[in-house]
Each structure stands twice: as structure tokens, then as C-alpha cells.
Structure 1
Amino acid sequence: MIEVSVNDRLGKKLKVKCLQSDTVGDLKKVIALQIGTAPDKLVLKKGHQVYKDHITLDDYEVHNGFNFELYYG
């Protein structure tokens, strides 16, 4: 189990526990439950990289302590 950070730069900072075998879509569902927004409205980025819903966190080499930027789309 890993813990990743999510920051929307509007004051919301979350720490979310997930598995490396989870997809980005699964992670978005967990984040959506915590902030009360639909998961299809969330966009996870890091720099210019946009993370696709069907790819696992392990494939993206997301590790413990990874920081995502959260945008609302």
C-alpha cells in the first residue's frame, strides 16, 4: 500500500492510500468520495503529464509519497 498526495492549489490537500495495482480511475474515485466531486470531473497531472484513467499507478511508476496536481475539468 502506498500513500500519495493530491493538491488542487485552491486549498485542498489530501493524502490518499491506494495500491500500486490500482488504476488512475480507481484513485480518482477515492479522491472524489473525499472531496464530494464526480470522478469524471477530476484531472490528475504532474507537470505537463496528464494521467489516463485506464493505466495503473505501477505503470506510471507512482511510488509512496508521490504528489499529484488536481484540476477540475
Structure 2
Amino acid sequence: MIEVLANDRLGKKIKVKCLPEDSVGDLKKLIALQTGTSYEKIVLKKGYQVYKDHITLDDYEIHNGFNFELYYN
């Protein structure tokens, strides 16, 4: 299990525990459960890189304590 953080820069920081084998889409669904928004509207970024839903966290080399920037589409 790894724990990642998502910060929407509006004062909301979300901690999510997931597996490295989970896809980014699965992570968005876990974040949507905690925020109460639809997972289709969530966009995860880090700098200028937008993370695609079908790629696993392990393929992106996302590790324990990784910080995402959370945007709403």
C-alpha cells in the first residue's frame, strides 16, 4: 500500500491509500469518494504533466508520499 496526496490548492488536501498496481482512473474514483465530486471531472497533474486514466501508478513511478495537483474539469 502507498499513500498519495491530492491538493486542490483551495485548502483541501486529500490522502488516499492505494496499490501501485491501481490505475490513475482507480485513484480518481477513490478521490471522488472522499470529495463528493464525480470522478470524470477530476484531473490530476504535476507541473505540466496530465496523468492518463488507463496507466498504472507503478508505470508513472508514483511512490509513497507523492503529491498530485487536483483540478476540476
Which bracket does the TM-score occupy, shorter chain normalised? over 0.9
**Is there any run of 5+ residues in structure 1 with no aligned partner, and where?**
none
CA–CA separation in structure 1 for the residues paired with 2:34 and 2:65: 19
* Dislocated runs of 4+, deviation >2 Å: none
User: How many percent of aligned residue pairs carry the same amino acid?
Assistant: 79
Shift of 1:6: 0.5
TM-score by structure 1 length? 0.99
Aligned to 1:16: 16
Give, in whole Å, the separation in 2 of the partners of 1:40 and 1:55: 16
Q: How many residues align?
A: 73
Over the aligned positions, Cα root-mean-square deviation in angstroms equals 0.3
- Show the counterpart of 2:44: 44
Q: Which residue type is aligned with residue 43 of structure 1? A: V
TM-score normalised according to structure 2 size: 0.99
